Amino acid sequence: MNTTKPVDKPVIRFYFARMKQAFHDLPEEEKTAFMRTDRENLDQLGMKAITMVDCSWSSKEWDYVGVEEWPSLETIREREKFEQEVLDVSRYVESKVLLGTAESYEEYGKG
C-alpha cells in the first residue's frame, strides 16, 4: 500500500451513504435548508460531482454511492470539519468514505 499523500493531484472521494431516520423525520423546510447549506459548501470548496447513484431500490445497506473530485486533500479536510461542526452530518447520515487519486485505465491489460 502506498501511503504517500497526493500533493499535486486532485483527490477522488468515493462514498457510500444511508439516510438515517432523523433525516427522514425532519420537516420539509429543514431538509431543504440542510441540503441547500450542504450544496453551497460543496460548491464553495470546488467539489466536482462525477456521479451519484441512487441504489436505495436495490440495496438495504446503502441509499447512495457517489464519486467526487476535490481540488486537494486540504479541501476534503475543510469539508469534513464543516460536516461535523455545521451540518452535524453523523446525526442524519451513515456513511463510508474512501479517498484516492485517479489513474489512467487506458493501458490496463494491454502490455
As a whole number of angstroms, the distance between CA 35 and CA 96 comes to 19
Closest CA to 15 of 76, 74, 67: 67
pLDDT of residue 71: 97
Domain boundaries, the chain: 16-100
pLDDT digits (tens, 9 = 90+) for 33-85: 999 999 999 999 999 999 999 999 999 999 999 999 999 999 999 999 999 99
Q: Is the overall model pTM greater than 0.85, yes or no? A: no
